[in-house]
Structures are given as structure tokens and as C-alpha cells.
Amino acid sequence: MAAVGAARALRAGGCRYSRFSSSFSSGGGERAGPRFRPPAGSRRDWIGPPDKRSNLRPVIFHVPPHESPLERRLRELREETQAWNQSFWARQNTAFQREKEEFIYSRLKARGLEARDETVFVP
């Protein structure tokens, strides 16, 4: 019986894409989850827009009304994994961008060039 419930919890069909980009947190804190909460009658996982730092889409997992202990454990493990992935990729992407800029500046300096000022003058 519990295996059937776990299979139901793993089913990915019917996820909804939310267009409420301002309702989801956008990289504010590493553990800060989505501020948006789906309606009480919702029976699907809700997926938000990509996070600015990690490029991952936050997911709000559906909690069935009669969730078995196995289903609950599975959902909690999925949430924990999502939080770890969010933190890892936010750190990884931030470090990559920083090191990429340092590399570009070092290559320009080695050639005797300067970085261009990308600001636009508007009279």
C-alpha cells in the first residue's frame, strides 16, 4: 500500500507553472523558500520562475490531505535535496562569474589593454 502512495508522490505529470514571478523569492537568502503558497485546493506541485543566482526553478510540493509517513518522508527528502541544489548552484554560479571576470581582466592586462567602460552616456 505504501509503495502505491510513494509512486503517486513521484508522479511528475500535471505540474503547474506559476506566472507569479514577484511572489517567489529571488535569491534573497540561501534557505529562503518561496513566499507564494498555492491555494488550499491545489493538487499539483507548483513550479516558479528560475532563481537569479542558481538558475533553478523553485518547487512547492503538493501535500496530499492523507499523506502516509512514507509519502511525507519522500516529500521531505525532495525538499531537502532541492534546498541543497539551490545552495550549491547559487554558490557555484556566483564563483564562476567572479572567476570569469578575473580571468578576462587578467588576459586584458597581459595584452596591455584595459577593460571597456560599459556605461552608456545619455545626454
Residue 19 pLDDT > 50 = no
Which pLDDT score is estimated for 20? 40
User: At 60, which helix (H) or strand (E)?
Assistant: strand 59-60
Cut 0.75: pTM above it: no
Give the tens place of pLDDT for each residue, 70-84: 999 999 999 999 999
C-alpha 15/C-alpha 83 separation (Å) is 19
